[in-house]
Amino acid sequence: MDNLIGIDSRVEEVNTLLLGVGVDDVHFIGIWGMGGIGKTTIAKVLFDRISHQFEFSSFISDVRRNVETSGLVQLQKKLISRMLGKEINGWDFDEGAMKIRGFLRLRKVLLVLDDVNHSDQLDYLAGKEDWYGFGSVVIITTRDAHLLVKHGVVRRSEVQVLNTNEALQLFFQHAFREGYPEQSYCDLCNQVVKYAKGLPLALKVLGSFLHGRDIPAWESALAKLRKVGNAEILRLLK
């Protein structure tokens, strides 16, 4: 696994949302921010660190994409199959929600729903606090803070971009793999980092793309990037 630059402080910020509340409470935690900023990575690291404390744990990744490709009922089936350890035949949204609630309500559960973009996904996959046993934690990552507010998720953490030092470290990690750039690349590195605006996905993709390329290739890539509007950076990088 990559050396996760800047991740510890961001995971700790989310983890503090779990502090100062009763051990018998059910905790809904929201992690939100723009695409590519590292929400999924934060959720995965936190999941790995605390999942051993729960009777049942499940990380449902790419909720938005899975719903778009297969539908919400299919995602309910995936979650329930993990719970029961076997495949379950079809139903509608409401029946699926009842099955999920029936399994969760007497258990201490850790559930992560990653990249949620519609309130139906929360209503039919996560439900409310009364779906869960005491001490359960539900973590939701999303680009839309309003979804969290609408669902009543009070404990929310907005993920911030990397600072300049963190951004340089992450970019070096992908552009040079080991060590630091030669002096002749330093100014170009600073230009790339300035362009990426602290966005981890942009730094990783640009670093990997520029790895092993000569200075003219770097200059050409930067010239092309400068023609692209900020709103399109993630679409093009992906």
CB atoms within 10 A of CB 87: 9
- The tokens describing 67, both together, are 């719903």
79 CA to centre of own chain: 18
State in words which class domain 164-237 has: mainly alpha
What is the residue type of 14?
V
Check if 7-158 and 164-237 are the same fold. Answer: no
Residue with more model confidence, 107 or 226: 107
Where in the chain are the domains? Answer: 7-158, 164-237
Residue 224: pLDDT over 70: yes
Overall pTM > 0.85: yes
- Please tell me the predicted confidence (pLDDT) of residue 86: 77
Please, are residues 134 and 26 in contact by the beta-carbon 8 Å criterion? yes
Q: Which fold has domain 7-158?
A: Rossmann fold (3.40.50)
- Please tell me the predicted confidence (pLDDT) of residue 197: 87
pLDDT digits (tens, 9 = 90+) for 181-207: 888 999 999 999 998 888 898 898 889
- The tokens describing 31, both together, are 């992690």
Closest CA to 200 of 162, 237, 168: 162
